[in-house]
Amino acid sequence: MEKAAANGWVIRSLEVMPDHVHVFVFAPPRDSPARIANQFKGYTSRVLRSEFAWLRSRIPTLWTRSYFVATVGNVSEAAIARYIEEQKSR
């Protein structure tokens, strides 16, 4: 993803669900989880609205302001990647 590369982030895993998105990102500590989530949401909103003009008139906002963030620590990277991968079968 262009936004991740531009900021020096590495997307370890990504799964797009019908009503939400799971993204496992490796980022330096200087970038807060809130900034990362807002950067992804803003960027994807701009790209999708420019590609699909009908979104601008039908949907007032593409994303809600909410998001969930967890950091690797108590759970291993492998467990997080496995969880995201398992979402494909749900």
- pLDDT tens for 10-46 read 999 898 888 889 999 999 999 999 999 999 999 999 9
Report how many domains make up the chain.
1
Q: What is the pTM of this model?
A: 0.78
Please tell me the predicted confidence (pLDDT) of residue 25: 94
Asked whether residue 1 carries a pLDDT value surpassing 80, the answer given is: no
How far is the C-alpha of 69 from the C-alpha of 67, rounded, in Å? 7
Q: Do the Cβ atoms of 11 and 2 come closer than 8 Å?
A: no
CATH number at residue 54: 3.30.70.1290
Domain range spanning residue 66?
A: 2-89
Q: Which residues contact 21 (CB under 8 A, 6 or more apart)?
A: 14, 15
